């Protein structure tokens, strides 16, 4: 399983909303909204990644939720 689909499954399982996508530089970007405890659990998962992925770094920027999402998808 690739990293984007790992994020998709973890976020949906946690009841989070937003999106995940590949960036042109090869990194993966996601925007996720939901309860803080679920977001923190997802953040732990993002650091681990799917087997056999090697996660070099996870950059986090906390913001106020927009409320514009009803589900989680791959953009």
Please list the active-site residues. Answer: 4, 22
| Spatial separation of the C-alpha atoms in residues 66 and 57, rounded to whole Å | 25
* CB neighbour burial string for 51-65, b if at least 16 within 10 angstroms, e if fewer: eeeeeeeeeeeeeee
């Amino acid at each position: 399983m690739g990293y984007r689909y790992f994020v998709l499954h973890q976020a949906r399982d946690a009841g989070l909303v937003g999106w995940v996508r590949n960036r042109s530089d090869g990194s993966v970007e996601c925007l996720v909204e939901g309860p803080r405890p679920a977001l923190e659990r997802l953040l732990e998962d993002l650091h681990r990644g799917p087997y056999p992925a090697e996660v070099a770094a996870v950059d986090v920027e906390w913001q106020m939720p927009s409320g514009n999402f009803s589900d989680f998808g791959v953009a």
